[in-house]
Amino acid sequence: GAVVSQHPSRVICKSGTSVKIECRSLDFQATTMFWYRQFPKQSLMLMATSNEGSKATYEQGVEKDKFLINHASLTLSTLTVTSAHPEDSSFYICSARLGLAGTYEQYFGPGTRLTVT
C-alpha cells in the first residue's frame, strides 16, 4: 500500500513553454502533498507544501508565480512550471502524507526529470 505515482517520468520542453507534472496517491487519501527539487548529487529541497482545497505554502526563495501548485482532490496534486528556462532543469519529486492525525510518514513518487532546452 501507500503508492505514489508521478507523471511524466521525464519531459523535455523548449524554453518559454509550460510543463505540468502530476502527483497521485494511488491507494490512499493524501491530505498533504509536498514538492521537492533535487539537483544532481544533492539533497532534496522542499519547494512547497500543498493541502487539499487550499493554497500551497511556498518555501522562501521559491517563486509561486513560476511554480504553480494545485491540490484539487485528496489524491491529486499538480506542479506547473511556467515559462520554463534552462535553469529550471532538475529532478522534481512529490510526496504524500496519509490524512490521519498524528501520522508523519511521507510516501514518495518516483520523480520527474525536467530538461528545458
Partner 1 sequence: AQTVTQSQPEMSVQEAETVTLSCTYDTSESNYYLFWYKQPPSRQMILVIRQEAYKQQNATENRFSVNFQKAAKSFSLKISDSQLGDTAMYFCAFIPGAGSYQLTFGKGTKLSVIP
Return residues touching partner 1 (CB under 8 A). Answer: 32, 34, 38, 42-44, 46, 49, 91, 93, 95, 97, 104-108, 110-111
Q: Are 117 and 13 in contact (CB under 8 A)?
A: yes
Residue 101, all three cell numbers: 492525525
Closer to partner 1 by Cβ: residue 17 or 39: 39
What are the b/e assignments for 32-45, b being 16+ CB within 10 Å?
Answer: bbbbbbeeeeeeee
Task: Give the nearest distance from C-beta 72 to partner 1 in angstroms.
Answer: 20
73-to-20, 24, 103 alpha-carbon distances in Å: 16, 10, 19
Q: How far is the CB of 105 from partner 1 (least distance, A)?
A: 7
Find the shortest distance in angstroms from Cβ 83 to partner 1.
26
Which C-beta is closer to partner 1: that of 9 or that of 73?
9
CB of 43 to partner 1, least distance (A): 5
Residue closer to partner 1 (CB basis): 15 or 26:
26
3-state secondary structure of 86: helix
